[in-house]
Amino acid sequence: MHELPITENILSIVCRHAAAGNVTQVVSITLDIGELSDIEDEWMQHYFDYLSKGTVAEGAKLKIHRIPIVLQCNTCEKTFEIEKSMIGKSTCPNCKASGDFSLLSGRQYHIKEMEAR
């Protein structure tokens, strides 16, 4: 259910930018969402459809692009992508160190672009 406040925030930002640009209708919104975010695409669209009724964004489709999980080894500073299932089980492909990594991407979400009329 954490999708609801995130969706409210996205709608607020979209409506604010639409008003500033004299937009009459938002057609689509492209979102970049990290693989670790636990945000469900279906629920985001469902909440967006409900919340956007009566706004300039009513009927807009969310286009969700998943951003991969990228770690940086704190031993050799090599960066590498991993699958969500490998969190806590991965080793550095360069120096073979394990467990001492910094998360560079995978938790973020942001609005990449919006298509409007």
What CATH number is given to the structural domain containing 103?
3.30.2320.80
Residue 16 belongs to what domain range? Answer: 3-116
**pLDDT tens by residue, 2-58:** 788 999 999 999 999 999 999 999 999 999 999 998 888 999 999 999 999 999 999
pTM (2 d.p.): 0.84
Average pLDDT in the chain: 94
Q: H helices within the chain, ranges in order?
A: 3-20, 41-51
Q: Which pLDDT does position 45 carry in this prediction?
A: 96
Which residues have CB under 8 Å from 70's CB, separation 6+? Answer: 79, 80, 81, 82, 103, 104, 105, 106
Amino acid at 107: R
Q: Cα dihedral angle (53, 23, 31, 9), rounded to 10 degrees?
A: -50
Q: Provide, for the chain, the percentages of residues in helix, strand and coil under a 3-state DSSP scheme, each rounded to the nearest 5.
A: 25, 35, 40
Show Cβ contacts of residue 53 under 8 Å, excluding neighbours closer than 6 positions: none
Q: How many residues does the chain have?
A: 117
- In the chain, how many domains are there? 1
Model pLDDT, residue 1: 55
